Amino acid sequence: MNNKFLKIGVLCFFVSSFLLSCASGPKINSQPIPNLQNVSEKTEALTDDELQYWGSQDLLYDTIPGMSVDRAYKELIKDYNGKTIIVAVLDSGVDIEHEDLEGVVWTNIDEIPDNGIDDDDNGFVDDIHGWNFLGDVTNENLEYTRIVRDYKGQFEDKLASDIDPEDLEKFKMYRAAKAKYDEELANTDKSINRYVMMNNQLQEAEESLKIELEVDKLTIENVTAFKPQDDTSLNQKMLLLNVMNNIDEDIQNIQDQLAEAMEYFGDKTKYHLNLDLNARAKNLGDDADDFSTKIYGNNKVSGPNEDKKEAKHGTHVAGIIAASRKNDKGIKGVADNVLIMPIRAVPDGDEYDKDIALGIRYAVDNGASIINTSFGKYFSTHPEWVMDAIKYAEKNDVLIVNAAGNEGIDLDEKRVYPNDETPENPANFVDNFINVGSITSQYGGNLVSGFSNYGINSVDIFAPGSSIYATTPLNTYEFLQGTSMAAPNVAGVAAVIRSLFPKLSAPQVKQILMESGLSTNQKVILGGDPQNTEVFSKISVSGNMVNMYNAIILASKTK
């Protein structure tokens, strides 16, 4: 029998027992939404309003597989105010001055602002709204790049037989990292060359046909009508028609997309794969391999730059969870009565284990009930530090909501960090960690986001993560997607449960989220590959997608 299912079965027994006596909050007599196997797929395109708020919609009422957030507020808790809950956003930074986050940013009331003194004696000077463990660092290496950089001198050109037994695991990690690094460097170079060539060919074809046609703008109609006089002109016409018919008629839009792609892969070479970068040593002055130093960085939780570009990801996550539901601006976050605690620990590149471990501990020590961790990597040099921090959160009854990752792979076959498993023991080593995959707004075969990781033993539940509209820096709003967006949707629902029913423990809240979700027996496409399909209920531990309406009802089943 699968160890994880066995553990969950045991936990269900204890949760059921606790639910009868421990929870408090609104008494609700409504019936939960049943699994809706016969709901038809929504065939028409979503309206602009539906697209912006689809994650809050209801499968029964709207045929959109949202979390029934709006329905829950209208039918279950419209007259009930719960306890204020602190949710830590361990991320790239948060624009705490955003118009739609006004009033929902945590303030350390024991700290006097900007006096240069650690008033509350927690070791962090002037940590008014959280802490920035990255200091002025914005761009970083990927973890496997750092491993290659740091261990190259020790292990390069060595065989396993040459390695001391105590260094063998480190050697294996280096060899795996080196193989991944070489693969990514080659693929990145190929991608840059491909996009540069495409861009040059497109520009040349556009300019040539504009001259031939004597027009300022090309359209499908005038390009189609063009009569080439030679093979070069014919090839240029066919290139333009292929692009304009299949991607975008506006050539400038295509060129902008190509420019973004070239910038992305250029930055990957410049930062992520650059063995000479070492941004932490140059800009932070902290040794990532020395866990004895725990106070570094600064209190600039939005990041070091005025444009707050680096805070885009974290601001989006924060808005999904807690953007004000009471103003008439922007969006409505999932949770009311929430304060966001920003902790900046995730650069553009891979996070350091030390920063994540200390970030989790900071959140716990300063009163967070939930920590959202929308990041991850496939190599880790100090996983034990993060595991100990997760155990520390469990000991202090803090729920961690984690993004499962965006490679479209089965996590039962590949380990990702952070997680709640070890290679030696696939069963969870904690009960306060929930791993979240992503779904789309399309109920049916395309329900699972093509990028989303999955795994019947490794991913706990799914939630909306494709095309999510939320806050971005400088009072803007954008659509972003990823399991990074699915996790805060779940964190928001968890915050509602902890707000309404404050006596429920973190493991109980996790189990409620998993047990109360909706499922389907339909087959879904995995990893964006139509040849790779599985029944939705068999690609996660719970087999469900989060539903706030049902979660509130299940949580309310108390004396």
With H, G, I as helix, E, B as strand and everything else as coil, classify residue 451: coil
Q: DSSP for 189-255? A: HHHHHHHHHHHHHHHHHHHHHHHHHT-SS--HHHHHH---SSHHHHHHHHHHHHHHHHT-S-HHHHH
Q: Is 16 a catalytic residue?
A: no
Selected catalytic residue, list 62, 70, 91, 127 = 91
Selected catalytic residue, list 313, 324, 348, 410 = 313
Distances (CA, A) of 94 to 142, 256, 316, 340, 352: 22, 27, 8, 9, 19
**Calpha distance 541→435 (Å, rounded):** 10
Q: Which of 454, 552, 448, 444 is CA-nearest to residue 501?
A: 552
DSSP code of 166? G
The answer to whether residues 105 and 340 touch, using CB atoms and an 8 Å cutoff, is yes
Beta strands in 105-155 (DSSP E): 131-132
200 Cβ neighbours under 8 A, 6+ residues apart: none
DSSP code of 177? H
**Calpha distance 214→220 (Å, rounded):** 15
Cβ neighbours of 424 (radius 10 Å): 6
Q: Is 91 a catalytic residue?
A: yes
Q: Is 302 a catalytic residue?
A: no
The answer to whether residues 143 and 381 touch, using CB atoms and an 8 Å cutoff, is yes
The dihedral built from the CA positions of residue 122, 127, 130 and 133, taken in this order, carries a sign that is negative
**Calpha distance 362→357 (Å, rounded):** 9
The answer to whether residues 87 and 497 touch, using CB atoms and an 8 Å cutoff, is no
Q: Bridge-partner residues for 454, per DSSP?
A: 410
Q: Which of 488, 461, 447, 167 is CA-nearest to residue 317?
A: 488
Q: Take residue 373 and report the two structure tokens written for it.
A: 């961790």
The answer to whether residues 499 and 65 touch, using CB atoms and an 8 Å cutoff, is no
Selected catalytic residue, list 68, 452, 458, 484 = 484
The answer to whether residues 4 and 541 touch, using CB atoms and an 8 Å cutoff, is yes
The answer to whether residues 99 and 106 touch, using CB atoms and an 8 Å cutoff, is no
CA angle at 398 for the pair 509 and 470, rounded to the nearest 5°: 75
**Calpha distance 57→150 (Å, rounded):** 49
Residues with catalytic function: 91, 313, 484
